[in-house]
């Protein structure tokens, strides 16, 4: 996620340089044909161009709103994962205790049990991040495995959906704790509700990831912008030629104005395109790495650990 208040012009140039150069060359060619070569058959009335521009503006605005909704929903889902992870930790601490009718285990066993349940939650967050970014194979051993027993980590890594397996493992352990008398029925149900909330958040993220932005909207938005950019100079060139009395070279003023308008429309379309998929590890995506690290720090602090990892910081104004 880009965190600087204003985009650097280098970033803007990288996103739009190709289209800007195409607009500049094309508009210069039209102006050269119309002016020095007197090919006036190129000009068209301005009114249909303006009407088309209005229609395209509405269309790409609709696409941009839809794309932003996908990004914002992804961010909300990860915000719910942060809160639910904290709820999970609090409930584990308060609920996973010996009942009065049972022999109280060694407190060190309870502490280790809490640690295992919270570490598995951290592993789940990282596993979900890698699963959404399709990075499980290359980063599992460093990002997920350290928080799991070795056998469990090896088993989960080979599955098609490791995050689901980890939540299933949490569920199995809740049942085992209930059978051992370390959970009452009510507390087991409450912890299972927390697992359900995590599964709901995971399902929402997978829905966004596995359902691309409707290609008909994305494709025609791109096509309409370039059609408008193609006919815009044909409508402007005659306007600058007939309405301005600035000498024989005034028609060339059409070039910067036409390029500017085309560039603005193209930027709006590009902004919508870059927001379509919020889990692609791009500079405009949901900062899942930073969120996972924040969850890890929160849960390990609750375990009263002191050797904690540093927070993820932005690199070149980008927070991943």
pLDDT digit string, tens, across residues 292-317: 999 999 999 999 998 999 998 878 77
Instruction: Answer whether 224's CB lies under 8 Å from 60's CB.
Output: yes
Distance CA 14, CA 284 (A): 14
Residues of the chain above pLDDT 70, percent: 93
Per-residue pLDDT tens over the stretch 270-293:
888 888 888 988 888 899 999 999
Cα distance between residue 144 and residue 130, in whole Å: 9
pLDDT exceeds 80 at position 51: yes
List the helix and strand counts (H, then E) for the chain.
10, 0
Q: What is the pLDDT of residue 2?
A: 65
Q: What pLDDT was estimated at residue 195?
A: 96
Contact 255, 39 (CB under 8 A): no
Which of 171, 173, 165, 176 has its CA nearest to residue 193? 171
> With a threshold of 0.75, does the pTM exceed it?
yes
Burial class (CB in 10 A: 0-12, 13-18, 19+), 210: exposed
Look at residue 15 in the predicted model and tell me its pLDDT.
81
pLDDT of 5 higher than 80: no
The sign of the CA dihedral 131, 133, 138, 142 is: negative
Q: What is the pLDDT of residue 282?
A: 83
| pLDDT at residue 309, as a whole number | 92
Of 147, 84, 87, 86, the closest CA to residue 115 belongs to: 147
């Amino acid at each position: 996620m880009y965190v600087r208040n204003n985009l650097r012009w280098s970033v803007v140039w990288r996103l739009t340089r190709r289209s800007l150069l195409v607009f500049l060359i094309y508009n210069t060619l039209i102006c050269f044909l119309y002016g020095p070569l007197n090919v006036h058959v190129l000009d068209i009335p301005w009114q249909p161009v303006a009407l088309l521009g209005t229609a395209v503006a509405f269309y790409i605005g609709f696409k941009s709103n839809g794309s932003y909704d996908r990004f914002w929903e992804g961010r909300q889902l990860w915000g719910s994962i942060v809160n639910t992870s904290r709820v999970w930790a609090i409930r584990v601490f308060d609920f996973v205790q010996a009942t009065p009718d049972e022999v109280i285990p060694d407190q060190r066993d309870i502490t280790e049990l809490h640690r295992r349940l919270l570490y598995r939650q951290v592993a789940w967050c990282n596993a979900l991040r890698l699963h959404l970014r399709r990075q499980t194979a290359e980063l599992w051993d460093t990002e997920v495995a350290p928080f799991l027993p070795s056998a469990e980590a090896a088993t989960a890594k080979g599955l098609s959906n490791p995050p689901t397996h980890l939540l299933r493992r949490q569920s199995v352990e809740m049942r085992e704790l209930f059978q051992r008398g370390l959970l009452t029925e009510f507390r087991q149900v409450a912890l299972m509700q927390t697992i359900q909330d995590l599964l709901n958040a995971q399902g929402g993220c997978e829905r966004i990831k596995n359902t691309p932005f409707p290609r008909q909207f994305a494709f025609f938005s791109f096509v309409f912008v370039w059609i408008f950019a193609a006919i815009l100079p044909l409508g402007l060139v005659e306007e600058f030629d007939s309405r301005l009395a600035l000498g024989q070279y005034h028609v060339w003023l059409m070039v910067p104005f036409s390029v500017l308008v085309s560039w603005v429309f193209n930027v709006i379309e590009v902004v919508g395109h870059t927001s379509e998929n919020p889990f692609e590890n791009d500079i405009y995506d949901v900062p899942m790495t930073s969120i996972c690290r924040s969850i890890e720090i929160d849960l390990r602090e609750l375990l009263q650990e002191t050797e904690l990892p540093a927070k993820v910081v932005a690199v070149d104004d980008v927070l991943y």
